[in-house]
Amino acid sequence: MKCKIAAVIMSCITSLPTIASEAGYLLNPDKALVPASKQHWQDDQKVMDTFISDLISRMTLAEKIGQLDLQSGFRNTTGPYVNDAYEQQIREGRVGAVFNAYGADFTRELQKIAVEETRLGIPLIIGHDIIHGHKTIFPQSLGEAASWDPEVARMGARVAAIEATADGIAWTFAPMADITRDPRWGRVSEGAGEDVYLGTMMAVARVQGFQGEDLSQPDTMMATAKHFAGYGLSQAGRDYHSTDVSELELWTTQLPPFKAMVDAGVATVMTAFNDLNGIPATGSRRLLTDILREQWGFEGFVVTDYTAINELVPHGFARDEKHAAEIAFNAGVDMDMVGMTFIGHMEALVAEGKVSESQINESVRRILEMKWRLGLFEDPYRYSDPARAEREILSEQHLDMARDAARRSMVLLKNDHQTLPLNADSLNSIALIGPLAHSRRDMIGNWAGAGDRSEQPVSVLEGMVRKLEGQVAIHYAPGATYAYLHDADSEEAHIRGKGVSRMERDDPRLVSLFQEALAVAEKSDVIVMVMGEEERMSGEASSRVDLMLPGNQRQLMKALKKLGKPMVLVLMSGRPNVLDWEDEHVDAILHAWYPGTSGGHAIADVLMGEYNPSGKLPMTFPRSVGQVPIYYNARNTGRPYDAGSENPRSQHYTSRYDDSPNTPLYAFGHGLSYTDFEYGKVQLSSHQLKTRNDELTVSVDITNTGEYSGEEVVQLYTRQLVGSTTRPVKELKGFRKIQFAPGERKRVSFSLRSDDLAFYRADMSWGAEPGDFHVFVGSSSDRVQQAEFTLVDK
Q: Half-sphere exposure of 483 toward its Cβ, with a 13 Å CA cutoff?
A: 11
Q: Which of 69, 182, 275, 305 is catalytic?
A: 305
Mean pLDDT score, 29-33: 38
Instruction: Please write the tens of the pLDDT for every residue from 219-240.
Output: 999 999 999 999 999 999 999 9
CATH topology of domain 675-792: Immunoglobulin-like (2.60.40)
Check residue 291 and give its pLDDT: 98
In this structure, the number of other CB atoms found within 10 A of the CB of residue 441 comes to: 17
HEC string for 634-679: CECCCCCCCCCCCCHHHHCCCCCCCCCCCCCCECCCCCECCCCEEE
Architecture of domain 408-625 in this structure? 3-Layer(aba) Sandwich (3.40)
Has residue 26 got a pLDDT over 50?
no
CA atoms of 455 and 465, how far apart (whole Å): 17
CA atoms of 672 and 172, how far apart (whole Å): 34
Q: Is the pTM of this model over 0.75?
A: yes
Cβ neighbours of residue 138 closer than 8 Å, sequence gap 6 or more: 132, 144, 156, 159, 160, 401, 402, 405, 406, 596, 597
Percent of the chain with pLDDT over 90: 86
Check residue 42 and give its pLDDT: 67
| Predicted confidence band of residue 74 (pLDDT cuts 50, 70, 90) | confident
DSSP letters, 256-310, are HHHHHHHHTT-SEEEE-SSEETTEEGGG-HIIIIIIIIIIT---SEEE-STTTTG
Check residue 503 and give its pLDDT: 43
The listed CATH number (3.30.540.10, 3.60.21.10, 3.20.20.300, 3.20.20.100) that belongs to domain 17-389? 3.20.20.300
> First-to-last CA distance in the chain?
34
Q: Based on the number of CB atoms within 10 Å of its own CB, is 573 exposed (0-12), middle (13-18) or buried (19 or more)?
A: buried
Helices 256-263 and 196-211 cross at an angle (nearest 10°) of: 30
CA atoms of 660 and 627, how far apart (whole Å): 9
Domain locations in the chain? 17-389, 408-625, 675-792
Instruction: Please write the tens of the pLDDT for every residue from 515-561.
Output: 999 999 999 999 999 999 999 999 999 999 999 999 999 999 999 99
Check residue 507 and give its pLDDT: 73
Strands (E), 51-153: 69-72, 74-76, 79-81, 97-99, 125-128
Check residue 93 and give its pLDDT: 92
Torsion of CA 631, 635, 641, 646, to 10 degrees: 100
Check residue 574 and give its pLDDT: 97
Instruction: Please write the tens of the pLDDT for every residue from 120-129.
Output: 999 999 999 9
| Predicted confidence band of residue 482 (pLDDT cuts 50, 70, 90) | confident
Peptide bond connecting 175 to the previous residue in cis, omega within 30 degrees of 0:
yes
CA atoms of 12 and 1, how far apart (whole Å): 8
772 an active-site residue? no
